[in-house]
Amino acid sequence: MKYNFIFKKVALICYLFFITFSCSNKSSYKVKGVINGIYPDKMKMLIDHDTIPGFMDPMEMEFNIHPSVNLEKFNLKDSVHFLLTLEDKKHFSSSFSIIGKSLENKKNVNNTWEKDIYDPIEIGDTIYNASFLNTSNDLVRISDSNGKIRLISYIFSKCPMPDMCPAIVYKNQYLANYFKENNNIEFILISFDYLYDSPNVLKNIYGIMEKENSNIKFFSSKGRVNDLYIITKQSMCQFWGVEENNIGHTMRSILIGPSGELLHAYDGTDWETSIARQDINNMLKMYY
């Protein structure tokens, strides 16, 4: 039974997120872009890249950098050419060439919002009671699940990088299955692609997961942009470029308590499900 479950999940992930390449194949793409962030401690760079023919639309995103690359030789706004390689459900970038400097300053999105409600919340603070659409096109609020512990993550369905949004979906899917018999925990994934990810789109892609686990929910932000901006900023998760079809984003998941209070936060995609599972177990013992 256990092995059948694992096989079904792997097959589903391959179907949904690796339609452009086999799960076992190694694929490489030539990429052009501008460096907007350098993170030596994580061996990552934030790069605003052009269209990758046959693979990805223009987007700003964090790329994993191969250990052989010396990050000290790069500066912000360097225009670079490099090779993106996808293998074994992971990606890395290598073979960088610095072409020149970009004169274009990246727009600082969302900086016009007033402070207070848009400020990041701290441990113990209550998350905004935002409203979204579920896959049945019903209006739902975060508080509809008050009384439960919730893990909230942010994704978009067209994300083609297997170790980014698809990885977060899989982590939530694993945890939802693990806590399948516990009615006091729920897993909510909110799409910040408010133009493309309609309730119907999310249902077509993730409906199987929702049917298999009633404790996992996918929410659309279509028509709910203001709520989306508030809750993502409070969660310290950023996104931009939706209307320019040039989506960039950071990754963060938050664990909130029965009354919407922030309990824990998990940055990026490298957090371990075993740690989140233990945190959830501890919180379940505390509250129930």
CA distance 266 to 285: 20
- Is the model's pLDDT at 266 over the cut of 90? yes
Query: Do residues 90 and 162 make contact, with C-beta atoms less than 8 angstroms apart?
Result: yes
Nearest residue to 217 (alpha-carbon basis) of 252, 258, 175, 247:
175
CA distance 257 to 279: 12
- Is the model's pLDDT at 161 over the cut of 90? no
- Amino acid found at 148: K
Residue that has been written with the tokens 């964090």 in this structure: 62
- Tell me if the pTM is above 0.85: no
Query: Do residues 196 and 243 make contact, with C-beta atoms less than 8 angstroms apart?
Result: no
Residue that has been written with the tokens 């300053």 in this structure: 105
Can you name the CATH fold of 131-287? Glutaredoxin (3.40.30)
Lowest average pLDDT, out of 1-15, 60-74, 124-138, 271-285, goes to 1-15
Phi, psi torsion values for 46, nearest 5 degrees: -90, 115
Nearest residue to 128 (alpha-carbon basis) of 287, 268, 256, 280:
256
Phi, psi torsion values for 210, nearest 5 degrees: -65, -35
Domain boundaries, the chain: 21-101, 131-287
Query: Do residues 149 and 9 make contact, with C-beta atoms less than 8 angstroms apart?
Result: no
239's torsion region: left (phi>0), alpha (psi -120 to 50) or beta? beta
Q: How confident is the model at residue 53 (pLDDT cuts 50, 70, 90)?
A: confident
Query: Do residues 192 and 221 make contact, with C-beta atoms less than 8 angstroms apart?
Result: yes
Which helix (H) or strand (E) segment holds residue 64: the answer is: strand 59-64
CATH number listed for the domain at residues 21-101? 2.40.50.320
Query: Do residues 98 and 73 make contact, with C-beta atoms less than 8 angstroms apart?
Result: yes
**Tens-place pLDDT, residues 225-247:** 999 999 999 999 999 999 988 89
- Is the model's pLDDT at 6 over the cut of 60? no
- Amino acid found at 201: V
**Choice between 87 and 276, residue whose per-residue pLDDT is larger:** 276
What is the secondary structure of 192-238 as a DSSP string? --TTT--HHHHHHHHHHHHHH-TTEEEEB-TT-HHHHHHHHHHTT--
Q: Is 175 helix (H, G, I), strand (E, B) or coil?
A: helix
**Tens-place pLDDT, residues 102-120:** 555 444 444 443 446 888 9
Q: Is 52 helix (H, G, I), strand (E, B) or coil?
A: strand
CA distance 178 to 190: 21
